[in-house]
Amino acid sequence: MDPIPNDPVADLGWSHVGFGLTFIAFNAVISQALQLRLGASLVVAALRCVVQLTLVATVLQRVFAAKSIWAVTGIAFLLNILGTFEVVVIKAQRRYKDMFRTVFIALVVSTIPVSILGVRFAMSVFPFWTPEQFIPVVGMLCGNAVVGVLIVLSSILKELEENHDKTETLLAFGASRFEACRPLAVESLSLALMPTINQMSVMGLISIPGMMTGAILGGANVNQAARLQMIIMFMISASNALSCIIMTLFTLYVCVDSQHRIRGDRIYTRPHPFRRAGSSAVRAVVGSMRRAWITLSGSVKQLCLEGVVVNNGNDGHSIDPRSERAPLLP
Do residues 195 and 244 make contact, with C-beta atoms less than 8 angstroms apart?
Answer: no
In the predicted model, is pLDDT for residue 314 greater than 70?
no
Helices 39-66 and 69-85 pack at an angle, to 10 degrees, of 170
User: What's the pLDDT at 33?
Assistant: 83
Do residues 156 and 180 make contact, with C-beta atoms less than 8 angstroms apart?
Answer: no
In the predicted model, is pLDDT for residue 258 greater than 90?
no
User: What's the pLDDT at 148?
Assistant: 95
Cis peptide before 127 (omega within 30 of 0): yes
Give the whole-angstrom CA distance, residue 163 versus residue 147: 23
| Neighbouring residues of 50: CB distance < 8 A, sequence distance ≥ 6 | 17
Which spans in 118-176 are helix H?
A: 131-162, 165-172
In the predicted model, is pLDDT for residue 83 greater than 80?
yes
Reduced to 3 states (helix: H, G, I; strand: E, B; else coil), residue 207 is strand
User: What's the pLDDT at 317?
Assistant: 52
pLDDT in tens, 203-237: 877 777 777 887 787 777 888 888 988 999 999 99
Task: Using alpha carbons, select from 116, 140, 112 the residue that is nearest to residue 129.
Answer: 116
Q: Grade residue 2 by pLDDT with cuts at 50, 70 and 90.
A: very low
User: What's the pLDDT at 119?
Assistant: 95
Residue 208: DSSP 8-state? -
Give the whole-angstrom CA distance, residue 72 versus residue 62: 11
- Containing 267, the helix (H) or strand (E) segment is strand 267-268
Mean per-residue pLDDT over the chain, rounded: 84
- CA dist 203 to 114, 137, 138, 211, Å? 21, 18, 21, 11
Reduced to 3 states (helix: H, G, I; strand: E, B; else coil), residue 76 is helix
The reported pTM is: 0.77
Q: How many CB atoms lie within 10 A of CB 167?
A: 21
User: Bridge partners of 95?
Assistant: 268
Q: How many CB atoms lie within 10 A of CB 324?
A: 14
Give the whole-angstrom CA distance, residue 111 versus residue 149: 12
**Dihedral angle of Cα 27, 29, 35, 38, to the nearest 10 degrees:** 40
Give the whole-angstrom CA distance, residue 115 versus residue 137: 6
Task: Using alpha carbons, select from 251, 203, 222, 208 the residue that is nearest to residue 105.
Answer: 251
- Number of residues that make up the chain: 330
Residue range 260-279: average pLDDT?
A: 76
Lowest mean pLDDT among 31-40, 94-103, 171-180: 31-40
Helices 222-255 and 210-217 pack at an angle, to 10 degrees, of 150
Q: Grade residue 308 by pLDDT with cuts at 50, 70 and 90.
A: low
What totals of helices (H) and strands (E) does the chain contain, helices first? 12, 2
